[in-house]
Amino acid sequence: MKPNRPSRRSFLKSVACGALALSTPRFGHSGPDEAERPNIIFVMVDDMGYGDAGCFGQTKIKTPHIDRMAADGTRFTQCYTGSPVCAPCRCILMTGLHSGHCRRRGNRTTAHRDGREARKGLLPLAADDFTVAAMLKEAGYITGGFGKWGLGNPGTTGTPDKHGFDLFYGYLDQVHAHDYYTDHLFRNIDREELPGNKSGKKEQYTHDVIAAETFRFIRENKDNPFFCYVPWTIPHGKYVVPDQGCYKDEPWGGRQKNYAAMITRMDADLGRLFALLEELGIDEKTIVFFTSDNGPNPPFIETFDSNGPFRGVKRQLYEGGIRMPMIVRWPGQVPAGETSDFVWTFTDFFPTAAALGGIEPPGDLDGMNVLPALRGEKQNAHDHLYWEFHDPFHQAVRKGEWKGIRFGTEEPIELYNLAVDRGETTDVAKDHPEIVAAMKSIMNEEHVDSVYWPLVEHPKRKAKKK
């Protein structure tokens, strides 16, 4: 594992001197003046595919506010999540460490035996895991999170109050988040009852409740720099919604109608978020990211083409499982109406947030500051990106236009040239042994053994080709 917490708190020596020298160049780019430190909002919905928004090619599901965000900001076509499932994705986003280094590398582990935390196999963040929220809080940001946490239940070391959040409202347990009519949510670590869902009633749709809390946090902190993490649970299953809206008469299955209605409902709330920023006069002071945590589920591929032009779905390291819709909007700072093919990943959010706040980031992150690219400036991309996933265990590397995938540790590496084969239809490994060798070397170097995530060989499970 890379060096741990002492180096990750090294930036505090700058804070101790009082106000940070925010105009000092960092990462080769000048940060904003202290009075202009932007608010940071990161909206990450759940299980929405690359192709589920109109601005990314969707024709059946209506997403007018996501599309408007793309018109007002920049649409990134080569942004990657950290993992093809929810919990490790959240761990990677929060800690800036990729899935070969971070603590949480799958939704569940069978190797964890530390008392209470083993009861569901849900590995929490450790006390010394340092998050982007903790960094921003210690630099003076008010921090809030709204939606699904998934990195530590009550009584563990992983609850959001222990990792930099002044307020978290929503679900702590990732399985609890499947229930959109639960009788309780959590405010920090305190259970908060939802009386409208007691005794079999279904009067409080939790997405609506969580969205309202999101907006309340923004309104109450409009005069302070704030970080608002918005991991809304829509459109993850269970696929239930108060009404199917404009889709009720479509010739689709009920699950497909509900899925579409969930996305459009979330889209309307994204519109309310931007209206609120404008009402409060903080629109130009706020950078907003919009993305999804991982690829879509198989039931929505045929009806909606939810993985777009890509092969693979959730739980797979093919492009459809890890390439995400990403839009970034910041009036006057991020170009409006542009499309960028710059290659980046969720590990980059941590150092980018540091740059936005004028903060010296920890020194052991796997990501890099991509603020220049967000602003439409020239920037060198990563030498390579790395992923691993443990159900079944497989690894992937992107290096330039090349993509390598290996199932287990003994199977041959598959190789695809994404420049001409973004659907990963033709394995060209036999034609490029030197590139395959480079991919193997990266896979071996980037994986660090973890007692919680032993390398268990599984039968090879391939994704259906597009």
Q: What tokens were used for 227?
A: 């970080």
- Per-residue pLDDT, 109: 73
Q: What is the mean pLDDT of residues 321-345?
A: 98
Contact yes or no for 356/19 (Cβ under 8 A): no
Q: Is residue 421's pLDDT more than 70?
A: yes
> Spelled out in words, what is the top-level CATH class assigned to the domain 387-446?
alpha beta
Two tokens, residue 426: 């033709």
DSSP SS3 for 11: coil
Contacts for 312-316: CB closer than 8 Å, 24+ residues apart: 312/424, 312/463, 313/49, 313/463, 314/47, 314/84, 314/85, 315/84, 315/85, 315/389, 315/391, 316/84, 316/389, 316/463
* Prediction pTM value: 0.92
Q: What is the pLDDT of residue 324?
A: 98
- Peptide bond just before 195 cis, omega within 30 deg: no
Q: pLDDT tens, 91-128?
A: 999 999 999 999 999 998 755 554 444 445 789 999 99
As a whole number of Å, the CA-based R_g of the chain is: 21
Give me the DSSP letters along 192-206.
Answer: EE-GGGGGG-----H
Are the beta carbons of 108 and 173 closer than 8 angstroms?
A: no
Residue 17, pLDDT score: 31
- Residue 21 is predicted with a pLDDT of 32
Q: Which residue has the higher pLDDT, 410 or 325?
A: 325
pLDDT of 325 over the 90 cut: yes
Sketch the domain layout of the chain as residue ranges: 30-383, 387-446
Q: Containing H/E element for 417?
A: strand 414-417
Rounded average pLDDT over 407-417:
94
Residue with tokens 């809390």: 213
Contact 346, 89 (CB under 8 A): yes
Count Cα atoms within 13 angstroms, Cβ side, for 195: 0
> For residue range 425-444, what is the model confidence (pLDDT) as tens digits?
999 999 999 999 999 999 99
At residue 391, the pLDDT reads 83
Q: Is the pLDDT of residue 419 over 70?
A: yes
Average pLDDT over residues 378-388: 97
The secondary structure element, H or E, covering residue 434 is helix 433-446
CATH 3.40.50.2020, applies to 30-383: no
Of the chain, the percentage scoring pLDDT greater than 90 comes to 84
pLDDT at position 34 is 55
Q: Dig out the tokens for 297 from the structure.
A: 């589920």
Q: Compute the mean pLDDT over every residue in the chain, rounded to the nearest whole number.
A: 90
pLDDT digits (tens, 9 = 90+) for 194-244: 999 999 999 999 999 999 999 999 999 999 999 999 999 999 999 999 999
Structure confidence at residue 356 (pLDDT): 98
The pLDDT value given to residue 455: 82
Q: Strand, coil or helix: what is 227?
A: strand
Beta strand extents in 270-315 (DSSP E only): 286-292
pLDDT per residue as tens digits for the range 148-204: 999 999 999 999 999 999 999 999 999 999 999 999 999 999 999 999 999 999 999
**Range scoring the smallest mean pLDDT among 113-122, 269-278, 401-410:** 113-122
Core vs surface per residue 132-157: b (16+ CB within 10 A) or e: bbbbbbbbebbbbbbbbbbbbbeebb
